[in-house]
């Protein structure tokens, strides 16, 4: 099999030389194992954190070892009871074309009428992040005004659609007019193009003259500050990601931080893996899909050799919807 490894720990923005493609022989199957041919690989912003040798909620990638990440593959050989050849499964042995895994490390795809790769996006980790972050962490309710950053991305675009399906007013921010147009098509009531030259705080003030009840943060920095500037009393902030600082430990200065106090804003970070019971997620998302209220966009790079390029493009807005690699 071929797999991507981390050849060097990136400093700042990763470079293609920080990754190396290696070939390894895979073993014969032992009892209880399956051989999976990967069809789709996920690249996600959180992987940048795993490239640093620092303690975090997931361990760092080891230099020279195959990297990990979400993947969808087909079982091509099985010595595991109940997992037949041909079963499509999701698992974490991504960044490679093939894997030998114990049955406990693969999950057959849930029975929902969506493409397999949707289980790396709206019906997978990013979708769960949107769902739990919005409805449980931020406790968003019908009638709330919700602001979400990186609204044309995998998580953000799902936040927009869940919020609209649940009767909220939504303001999404994204880079550039094309993404903005798509976010509007998803149902957003207002869109901010943060690359258009105006400050996010000024644009948000115009889009939400009465302020916001919920901020779903994917970006940090000026977006978080703008949300603080326009937070209504008792606003709730779900801090999902801060992609603005992943490649660069720049200190962020928040001009409006003190608004936390006067407006009694509740601000909480979360990790999607905190949420373990997904029955409600599949039921609710299946219902929104059934109502025809769920649109999906993917940006697809073709071929294992393109995996680092797909990953790097996340940091320059190269994706609309979920960024995927197709094998």
Query: How many Å apart are CA 60 and CA 191, to the nearest integer?
Result: 36
CB of residue 244 to ligand NDP, shortest distance in Å = 4
Q: Quick check: 32 and 103 in contact, CB under 8 A?
A: yes
* CA terminus-to-terminus distance, the chain: 13
Nearer to ligand NDP, 44 or 144 (CB): 44
Structure tokens at 48: 């940048």
CA distances from 183 to 161, 176, 178, 208 (A): 9, 11, 9, 16
Nearer to ligand NDP, 2 or 278 (CB): 278
CB of residue 11 to ligand NDP, shortest distance in Å = 17
Nearer to ligand NDP, 35 or 215 (CB): 215
Sign (positive or negative) of CA dihedral 93, 98, 99, 103: positive
**Residue whose tokens read 């994204």:** 174
CB of residue 65 to ligand NDP, shortest distance in Å = 22
Nearer to ligand NDP, 270 or 282 (CB): 270
CB of residue 175 to ligand NDP, shortest distance in Å = 3
The DSSP result for 93-152, as a single string, is: B-SBSEEEEEGGG-EEPPS-SS-GGGGGTTTSHHHHHHHHIIIIIS---TT-EEEESSTT
CB of residue 153 to ligand NDP, shortest distance in Å = 2
Side-chain-side CA neighbours of residue 182 (13 Å):
21
Specify the pairing of strand 169-174 against strand 145-148: parallel
Q: Quick check: 304 and 270 in contact, CB under 8 A?
A: no
Nearer to ligand NDP, 140 or 152 (CB): 152
CB of residue 305 to ligand NDP, shortest distance in Å = 21
Nearer to ligand NDP, 73 or 241 (CB): 241
Residues forming contacts to ligand NDP in the complex (CB under 6 A) are 44-46, 126, 129, 150, 152-156, 174-175, 179, 218-219, 240-241, 243-244, 270-272, 314-315, 317, 319, 323
CB of residue 84 to ligand NDP, shortest distance in Å = 31
Nearer to ligand NDP, 87 or 129 (CB): 129
Query: How many Å apart are CA 31 and CA 234, to the nearest integer?
Result: 55
């Amino acid at each position: 099999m071929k797999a991507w490894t981390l050849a060097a720990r990136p400093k700042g923005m990763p470079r293609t030389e920080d990754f190396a493609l290696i070939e390894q022989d895979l073993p014969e199957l032992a009892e209880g194992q399956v051989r999976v041919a990967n069809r789709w690989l996920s690249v996600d912003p959180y992987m940048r954190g795993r490239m640093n040798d620092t303690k975090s909620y997931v361990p760092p990638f080891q230099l020279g070892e195959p990297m990990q990440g979400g993947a969808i593959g087909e079982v091509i050989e099985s010595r595991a009871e109940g997992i037949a050849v041909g079963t499509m499964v999701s698992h974490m042995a991504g960044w490679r074309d093939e894997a030998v895994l114990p049955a406990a490390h693969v999950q057959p795809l849930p029975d929902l009428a969506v493409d397999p790769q949707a289980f790396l996006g709206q019906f997978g980790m990013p979708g769960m992040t949107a769902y739990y972050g919005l409805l449980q962490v931020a406790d968003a309710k019908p009638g709330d005004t919700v602001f979400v950053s990186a609204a044309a991305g995998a998580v953000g675009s799902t936040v927009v659609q869940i919020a609209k399906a649940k009767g909220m007013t939504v303001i999404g921010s994204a880079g550039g007019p094309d993404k903005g147009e798509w976010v509007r098509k998803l149902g957003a009531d207002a869109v901010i193009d943060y690359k258009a030259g105006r400050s996010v705080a000024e644009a948000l003030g115009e889009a939400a003259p009465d302020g916001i009840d919920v901020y779903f943060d994917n970006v940090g920095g000026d977006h978080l500050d703008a949300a603080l500037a326009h937070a209504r009393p008792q606003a709730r902030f779900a801090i999902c990601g801060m992609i603005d600082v992943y490649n660069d430990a720049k200190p962020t200065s928040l001009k409006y931080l003190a608004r936390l106090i006067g407006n009694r804003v509740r601000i909480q970070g979360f990790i999607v893996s905190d949420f373990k019971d997904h029955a409600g997620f599949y039921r609710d998302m299946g219902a929104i899909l059934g109502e025809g209220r769920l649109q999906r966009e993917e940006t697809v790079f073709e071929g294992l050799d393109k995996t680092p390029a797909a990953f790097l493009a996340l940091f320059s807005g190269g994706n609309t919807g979920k960024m995927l690699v197709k094998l």
